[in-house]
Structure 1
């Protein structure tokens, strides 16, 4: 995976969904060198952009995302599997990650399209290539064996923007803004101050 700092837009599972993911993970068989994502950092990526670490792009991205219609999505995680990197950096090529996949959902595709339009409005380039919705929950997981997955229902009603830093195994996330299906918006103080300067 690339290193550095990014601004990530995604859906983050709630505690109940994370618990179900952890149960499935604990029932699986893993190679010794497997690494597991911290449960609070599990997410389904809808877009991300490179950032210098100075939050240069965050205020205008928050402004654009505030116009994205967020609705409660009744998603179902119904597949767990291993992906092997075929096209990646030399250090990552051939490595494996374990993912959960949601069942096809028109609302999720629509939300992704809205996020893409928000990125364009903010004059930012999405660095995701060939978007396939998934949640990564383990790395270095070649030869992992999974039990049958009981479908995991997930009511996703919050779109989140975080500053994401790669620690060598997983991305660590600092919340910057949340956009809720209720219409509420929660913005971190550092972003709120910069937004006021833009007005």
Structure 2
């Protein structure tokens, strides 16, 4: 656990240093939003950086698709093999804060019992990283997830989705290669073209 926390601290400090050397004017959230929007319509393959054989993603093809970039809303379906149930929904809120929600659907399009969890960025963050601590809706829906923190890193070559559960030694880290587009997966369950 201590080694993991040290690693996370090092990664964050490297992101901060990189940000300081190329800090754009304005809130980091707006630059992050603009940079993610540049990938609209594109799909990229990823990998679990810390997968074990008992992980639900182990051995499956992982693809993210920056599907829609509307005014104030970006949807990013996350396809796990033939499972098209997950979509990350990012919305720009007042004060240039970004909200991350996880939309989970069944194959027939109906919402899963556990859906719409996530959080609101606690500040405008940096152009290359946004943090989302669990919100009250998440706490009410999934009490054990009250201490979850999600974060997304974004640079010219990669998009990384991360989840850290406090009191759990196994963070989830999925890194996508933005330098190689892949074929767009099917429409995610419950969404229309």
Q: TM-score, normalised by structure 2?
A: 0.28
Larger Rg: 1
Q: TM-score, normalised by structure 1?
A: 0.28
Higher relative contact order (CA 8 A, sep 6+): 1
